[in-house]
Structure 1
Amino acid sequence: MPQTPNDLLIPSRRAFLSMAGMGAAAAMLPTPAWSFAAQQFPTLRSQIDAYVASKKAAGVVAAIGRGLAAPEVIKAGTLAIGDTTPVDLDTLFRVYSMTKPVTGMAAMLLIGEGKMALDQPISDFLPEYKEMRVLIDPAKSLDSVPAKTQITVRHLLTHTAGLGYSIITKGPLLKAYMANGINPGQVSRIPIPGFEPGAPTPDLKTFAERLAKLPLIAEPGTKWSYSISLDLLGRVIEVASGMEFDAFLKARLFDPLKMTSSYFQVPQSEVKRLTTNYAVFGGALIPIDPAASSIYLDKPAFAFGGAGLVCSTSDYDRFLAMLLGGGELDGVRVIAPEAVALGMTDLLPAGVSTDGTFAAGAGFGAGGRVGKGATEGVFGWGGAAGTIAFVDTRRKVRATGMVQYMPSNAYGFHEDFGKWVVADLQG
Structure 2
Amino acid sequence: MKSDRLERMRRWQQRYVDEGKYPGSSLLIRRRGEEQYFHAAGLRNIEEDLPFTRDTLVRLYSMTKPVTSVAVMYLLEQGLFHLDAPVSDFLPEFKDMQALVPGAVRISQTRPCTAPTLHQLLTHTSGLSYPFNPGVLPEAMAKEDLLFKPDHGTLAAMVTRLAGLPLAFEPGSRWEYSVSTDVLGRVAEVVSGKPLGRLLQEVIFEPLGMAETGFQPTSGAGNRFASLYTPLAGDAMALNSAETGTGSLRLTDSYPQSPFWQSEMHSGGGGLIGTIDDYMAFTEMLRCRGRSQDGFIISPQTADFMMQNHLVGDIASMGPQSFAEQPMEGMGFGLGGAVVLNPARARCPGSAGDFSWGGIASTFFWVDRQFDVSVVFFTQLAPSSSYPARPELKALVHGAIAE
Q: What is the correspondence of 1:341-356 to structure 2 with a 5 Å cutoff?
A: 341-348=304-311, 353-354=317-318
Higher relative contact order (CA 8 A, sep 6+): 1
* Conservation of the 8 A alpha-carbon contact between 2:71 and 2:200: yes
Comparing 100-109 with 351-360, which one deviates more in the overlay? Answer: 351-360
Cα distance in 2 for partners of 1:72, 1:257 equals 21
Q: Which residue of 1 aligns with 2:254?
A: 290
Cα distance in 2 for partners of 1:340, 1:39 equals 34
Return closer, same or farther for 1:338/1:39 CA change in 2, 3 Å cut-off: farther
* Conservation of the 8 A alpha-carbon contact between 1:276 and 1:289: yes
Comparing 228-237 with 161-170, which one deviates more in the overlay? Answer: 161-170
Q: 5+ residue gaps in structure 1?
A: 1-35, 187-199
Q: Which residue of 2 aligns with 1:183?
A: 147
Cα distance in 2 for partners of 1:68, 1:355 equals 38
Matched, 1:367 2:336: yes
1:396 maps to which of 364, 372, 384: 372
* Conservation of the 8 A alpha-carbon contact between 1:166 and 1:184: no
* Conservation of the 8 A alpha-carbon contact between 1:392 and 1:398: yes
Specify the code of the residue in structure 1 equivalent to 2:392: D
Question: Aligned to 1:363, what secondary structure does the other structure show?
Answer: strand
Cα distance in 1 for partners of 2:8, 2:255 equals 30
Matched, 1:378 2:342: no
* Conservation of the 8 A alpha-carbon contact between 2:308 and 2:339: yes
Cα distance in 2 for partners of 1:415, 1:369 equals 14
% same residue: 33
Q: Which residue of 2 aligns with 1:305?
A: 268
Comparing 343-352 with 403-412, which one deviates more in the overlay? Answer: 343-352
Cα distance in 1 for partners of 2:63, 2:14 equals 24
Cα distance in 2 for partners of 1:245, 1:285 equals 33
Question: Aligned to 1:41, what secondary structure does the other structure show?
Answer: helix
Matched, 1:407 2:383: yes
Cα distance in 1 for partners of 2:53, 2:274 equals 12
Cα distance in 1 for partners of 2:318, 2:4 equals 36
State the shift of 1:214 in Å. 1.4
Return closer, same or farther for 1:354/1:93 CA change in 2, 3 Å cut-off: farther
2:288 maps to which of 315, 325, 329: 325
* Conservation of the 8 A alpha-carbon contact between 2:25 and 2:52: yes
Question: Aligned to 2:30, what secondary structure does the other structure show?
Answer: strand
Comparing 223-232 with 413-422, which one deviates more in the overlay? Answer: 413-422
How many residues are treated as equivalent by the alignment? 376
State the shift of 1:89 in Å. 2.3
Matched, 1:133 2:98: yes
Specify the code of the residue in structure 2 equivalent to 1:371: V
Cα distance in 1 for partners of 2:38, 2:318 equals 33
TM-score normalised to structure 1 length: 0.82
1:96 maps to which of 58, 61, 64: 61
Question: Aligned to 2:220, what secondary structure does the other structure show?
Answer: helix
Specify the code of the residue in structure 1 equivalent to 2:64: T
Q: What is the correspondence of 1:219-368 to structure 2 with a 5 Å cutoff?
A: 219-267=170-218, 269-280=220-231, 281-300=245-264, 302-348=265-311, 353-354=317-318, 358=324, 359-361=327-329, 362-368=331-337
Cα distance in 2 for partners of 1:282, 1:309 equals 30
State the shift of 1:331 in Å. 3.0
Question: Aligned to 2:178, what secondary structure does the other structure show?
Answer: coil
Q: 5+ residue gaps in structure 2?
A: 232-244, 344-350
Residue by residue, what CA displacement relative to the aligned partner does 1:273-296 show, whole Å, maximum 9, x if unpaired?
A: 111111113352111111222222
Matched, 1:144 2:95: no
Question: Aligned to 1:131, what secondary structure does the other structure show?
Answer: coil
State the shift of 1:354 in Å. 4.4
State the shift of 1:384 in Å. 0.8
Specify the code of the residue in structure 1 equivalent to 2:112: P
Cα distance in 2 for partners of 1:371, 1:341 equals 14
Question: Aligned to 1:263, what secondary structure does the other structure show?
Answer: coil
